[in-house]
Chains A and B, each alone.
Chain A
Amino acid sequence: MSLSRQHEMHKRRFSRNLGLGLVLAAFVALVFGLTIAKVSDDDFAVTTEEAS
Chain B
Amino acid sequence: MSDASLNTTSVKSLEDEATFGDFFALLKPRVMTLVVFTAFVGLIAAPVSVHPVVGFAAILFIAVGGGASGALNMWWDADIDAVMKRTAKRPIPAGKVTRDEAFAFGVALSGFSVVMLGLATNLLAAGLLAFTIFFYIVIYTMWLKRWTPQNIVIGGAAGAFPPMIGWAAATGSVSVEAVLMFCLTFMWTPPHFWALALFTKMDYDNAQVPMLTVTHGRRSTRVHILVYTILLAALAIGLGFTSVGGPLYLAVAVVLNLNFLKGAVDIWRRDEAASEADKYLAERKFFKASLLYLFAHFGAIAAEALLAPYGLGGW
What residues on B are CB-neighbors of A13 within 8 Å?
17
| B53 at the binding interface (Cβ < 8 Å) | yes
What residues on A are CB-neighbors of B119 within 8 Å?
34
Kindly identify which residue among A2, A12, A33 contacts B19, using a CB–CB cutoff of 8 Å: A12
Kindly identify which residue among B3, B17, B20, B53 contacts A19, using a CB–CB cutoff of 8 Å: B20
* Minimum CB distance partner of A36 in chain B: B53
When the two chains form their complex, are residues B60 and A16 in contact, meaning their CB atoms are under 8 A apart? no
| A9 at the binding interface (Cβ < 8 Å) | yes
Kindly identify which residue among A2, A9, A30 contacts B57, using a CB–CB cutoff of 8 Å: A30
Size of interface on A: residues with Cβ below 8 Å to B:
18
Kindly identify which residue among B11, B20, B54 contacts A15, using a CB–CB cutoff of 8 Å: B20
CA distance A15 to B120 in the complex (A): 30
**Given contacts A2-B3, A9-B14, A34 and B57 within 8 Å (CB-CB):** yes
| A3 at the binding interface (Cβ < 8 Å) | yes
| B7 at the binding interface (Cβ < 8 Å) | yes
When the two chains form their complex, are residues B54 and A37 in contact, meaning their CB atoms are under 8 A apart? yes
Convert A1-21 into 0s and 1s, putting 1 for each residue whose CB lies closer than 8 angstroms to a CB of B.
Answer: 111000001001101101110
Interface residues of A (CB under 8 A from B): 1-3, 9, 12-13, 15-16, 18-20, 30, 33-34, 36-38, 41
